[in-house]
Structure 1
Amino acid sequence: MAGWTHRYARINGLDVHYVEQGDGPLVVLLHGFPHLWFSWRHQIGPIADAGFRVVAPDMRGMGQTSGPADPREYDVDRIVGDVVGLLDHLGAEKAVFSGLDFGLFAAYDLAHHHPDRVAAIIGLENPFFTPSEESPLTLAARQAERHFNHIHYFTAPGVADRDLAAAPREFLRRLFYALSSDYHYLDVWRRPPGTSYIDALPEPPPLPWAWLTEPELEFYVDAYSRSGFTGGLNWYRAMDLSWEYRKSYGGGKNPVPFYFIGSEQDADLEGWHGPDPLNRLAEHHADLRGVRMIEKAGHMMQMEKPGETTAAMLEFLSGE
C-alpha cells in the first residue's frame, strides 16, 4: 500500500481518479460493478514490483470518478474515449489491459477500435461478447417474467438507485458473498419476479471471511455511500446501446494478443456465455496466447485467490 499514489485528472469531460505504482511497461487494470480500483489491491504492488507501471482507475460514474446521470453517456464511444483519454493523459502509446466484467468489455471495445493502443488483454472471467439476436435488456425483461433478474431490476428508473443507496452495506456484503465460491450465485434466479436484489441475495456469515475483512468491505461501503450507485447502474442501462453499436464489429475477432484467466465457480462463465465457453475462445480472439483456470474461486477471483490470480497475470505479462 505504501507504494500507491492517488492521482486526479480531467479526462474526456470527467473528473477521473486513479491509483498508480511502479515504472516500466504500462499495465491498466479496469474494474466492473460494484467495484473500484481497490478491487485490484492485491495485484497492483506485485505487478509493479515485477517491473511494470500499474494504473488502476475508478471507472466512469464509480468511486471518485464522476459520471453523468444520463445512461446514454455510458455507451461504447464514451467508454472507449475514457480509456484512450487515460492513455493520452499518461503519455502512453499503448498498454496491456486487464479487466473484469464491464472493465473487460471496455478493453475489448478499445481493441476493436484502436488495436494500436492495446499491447495485449488479460481477461478475467468474461471470455468474449456473447452473440445474441435479442438485445440484453429485452432478454433480461423476458427472464424477469419468470424469476428475479438483476439486470432487469437495475434498469428500472430510480428503483435500484433508491434501494441500494438506502442500504449500501447490506447490498455489498450480500452481493460480494453471493459472487464468491462460497455460494452458487445462480440460485438468486429461484426468487420470484418483483423481488428486490437485496432480498434475492443470501444472508452471509459474519465478517471477516477468508478473503475479505471488515475494513476492506467498509472501503466499498464508504465509496458508494458518497457516490451513490447510479453511475454503476447506468452501465447496465446502456447495455442495449452497446449491443447495437457492437453489431458494427460483425463477426470480427479481437485482434490483439489475448490471455484468459477464469475460475471454476464463476457465475458469468456458468450463466452468460453459452455452453463450453472455454473451447470457443479461439472463435472470438485472433491471437489466443494462454488460458488458466483458478480452482475454488468465484467471480471475485482477484480477491478470493489473489496469489494464484496475480501469478497467472505475471506469467502472461512475462510473455509481452
Structure 2
Amino acid sequence: MITKSQVGEGAMTVQHRILEAGAVRIHTVEQGSGPLVLLVHGFPESWYSWRRQMPVLAQAGYRAVALDVRGYGRSSKPRDPAAYRMLDLVQDNVAVVRALGETSAAIIGHDWGATIAARSALVAPEVFHAVGILSVPYTPPGGPRPSEVFAQMGGEEEFYVSYFQEPGRAESEIEPDVRGWLAGFYRALSGDTMAGPDPHFVTRDGGTLRERFPAGALPSWLTEEELGFYAAEFERTGLTGALNRYRNMDRDWEDLAPYAGAPIKQPSLFIGGRRDASTMWLSDAVDAYPHTLPGLTGSHLLDCGHWIQQERPDDVNRLLLEFLGSL
C-alpha cells in the first residue's frame, strides 16, 4: 500500500510516500522522472539532507528519491535494537526500489548512508548498478571486531561510537535539548565552524559530547529554519532509532563475514571533504580504492567538512551529474 501527498516546489512537484517494505514502512520523498537515483542520509539527519540535490537531479532527467532510513522521520522504528542491523537496511533499500515499480537504481549515500549504500551495492549488485559514496570511504567487510577498534580510537578518552553503545545514555544527553545538541554537532563537523582540523569526538571522565562542541553561530550552510526542521523530526521521534545503527556494528561484522575483503565492482564515485574527520580517519581506505572499488570513476576531495552535499551543493551536484551521465 502506498499513501501519497503532494506539495509544489518551484516548477517541479515533490511527492511524499509511505512504502510497504516487508515488516516495516519507509517514508520516501520523490522528485522528477527517469532513471531511479536512491538517496540515503546519515546521522543525525533525514531525507531533508538531500534538499539541494533532488531538484537538480530531477531537472536533469532523473527520478530522485530520498528516504528516511528506518528509525528516522516517518519511517518505522522497530523496538528491538537488533532490527537496525545492516542487512535489514539493505533489504529496506531493495524493497523501496521494488515498491517504486523499478528493478534497479543508482544509490548515493552520505555518512552512515554512504556505508548503507556501499553495502547495498555489495550485497545486491543486481539491484544497485552504481554507487556514490560521500564522506565515509568504502572499506570492505572484515578486519578486527568494530567494538575493539573504536575502543582504542579515543585513547584515554571514550570515542563517540563507544559512547553511543549503551541504550539510553546518549539519548539522555540529547533529548532534553534536541535543537541545541544538533546545532553543536553540526557545527563540530562543518568546515567553517569546527573547533580545529580534528573535532576529537570523545568524552572524558563520564562527560558528554556536548561539552566538546564549538560554540558560536550556525554553519553557513544551515539556516535557523533548516535546523528547526531537523530538530522537529527528532523531537517527535526521539534519537533511539537513529542511535541503534551504531549499536549493531558487531552484528554487522558477523552478518557480513561472507563478504570479507570483497570489492564493489559496479561503477562508483567517492566525494570527501578535506576537513572531514571521517575522510581523514579512513585515508588508507581511499588509498586502497584501486583494489576495493575497481569500478571507480572518480575520487574527489572538496574544501569542506562533513556535511558535504549541504556545504558544497553545487560541486556535489556537478560531480553526481557527471557520474550518473557516464553510466
Q: Same fold (TM over 0.5)?
A: yes
Contact 1:75-1:242 within 8 A present in 2 as well: yes
In structure 1, distance between residues paired with 2:159 and 2:217: 26
In structure 2, distance between residues paired with 1:158 and 1:195: 15
Aligned identity (percent) is 34
CA distance 1:104–1:153, shift in 2 (3 Å): same
CA distance 1:133–1:259, shift in 2 (3 Å): closer
CA distance 1:82–1:221, shift in 2 (3 Å): same
- 3-state SS of the aligned residue for 1:210? coil
CA distance 1:162–1:259, shift in 2 (3 Å): same
Contact 2:197-2:275 within 8 A present in 1 as well: no
In structure 2, distance between residues paired with 1:261 and 1:251: 22
The count of residues paired between Structure 1 and Structure 2 equals 315
Q: Which residue of 2 aligns with 1:151?
A: 161
Q: Which residue of 2 aligns with 1:72?
A: 82
In structure 2, distance between residues paired with 1:48 and 1:34: 25
Q: Which residue of 257, 262, 270 maps to 1:260?
A: 270
Q: Which moved more, 1:193-202 or 1:76-85?
A: 193-202
Q: Please state if 1:106 is matched with 2:116.
A: yes
- 3-state SS of the aligned residue for 1:187? coil
In structure 2, distance between residues paired with 1:311 and 1:58: 24
The aligned runs of 1:138-177 (5 Å cut-off) are 138-144=148-154, 146-177=156-187
Per-residue deviation, 1:186: 2.9
Contact 2:68-2:75 within 8 A present in 1 as well: yes
In structure 2, distance between residues paired with 1:191 and 1:7: 39
In structure 2, distance between residues paired with 1:59 and 1:131: 21
Q: Which residue of 1 aligns with 2:5?
A: none
In structure 1, distance between residues paired with 2:96 and 2:310: 25
Contact 1:178-1:202 within 8 A present in 2 as well: yes
* Structure 1 gap ranges (5+): none
Contact 1:178-1:185 within 8 A present in 2 as well: no
CA distance 1:289–1:216, shift in 2 (3 Å): same
Q: Which residue of 263, 282, 287 maps to 2:295?
A: 287
Q: Which residue of 2 aligns with 1:194?
A: 206
The aligned runs of 1:86-105 (5 Å cut-off) are 86-105=96-115
In structure 1, distance between residues paired with 2:257 and 2:142: 10
CA distance 1:255–1:195, shift in 2 (3 Å): same
Letter in 2 for 1:216: E
User: Could you state the TM-score of these two structures normalised by the residue count of structure 1?
Assistant: 0.93
User: Could you state the TM-score of these two structures normalised by the residue count of structure 2?
Assistant: 0.91
Per-residue deviation, 1:145: 6.1
CA distance 1:189–1:75, shift in 2 (3 Å): closer
Residues 180-216 of structure 1: per-residue CA shift (max 9 Å, x gap): 112136333575242211122222x234x42110000
Residues 93-131 of structure 1: per-residue CA shift (max 9 Å, x gap): 100110012212122222222211112111111221266
Contact 2:37-2:62 within 8 A present in 1 as well: yes
- 3-state SS of the aligned residue for 1:221? helix
Q: Which has the higher helix share?
A: 1
Letter in 2 for 1:61: G
Q: Please state if 1:22 is matched with 2:32.
A: yes
Q: Which residue of 1 aligns with 2:322?
A: 315
Contact 2:109-2:117 within 8 A present in 1 as well: yes
Contact 1:148-1:200 within 8 A present in 2 as well: no
In structure 1, distance between residues paired with 2:87 and 2:199: 35
Question: CA RMSD for the aligned pairs?
Answer: 1.7
Letter in 1 for 2:217: P
Q: Which residue of 7, 15, 34 maps to 1:5?
A: 15
- 3-state SS of the aligned residue for 1:98? strand
In structure 1, distance between residues paired with 2:242 and 2:251: 16
The aligned runs of 1:41-52 (5 Å cut-off) are 41-52=51-62
Contact 2:159-2:202 within 8 A present in 1 as well: no
CA distance 1:11–1:236, shift in 2 (3 Å): same
* Structure 2 gap ranges (5+): 1-8
In structure 2, distance between residues paired with 1:144 and 1:299: 19
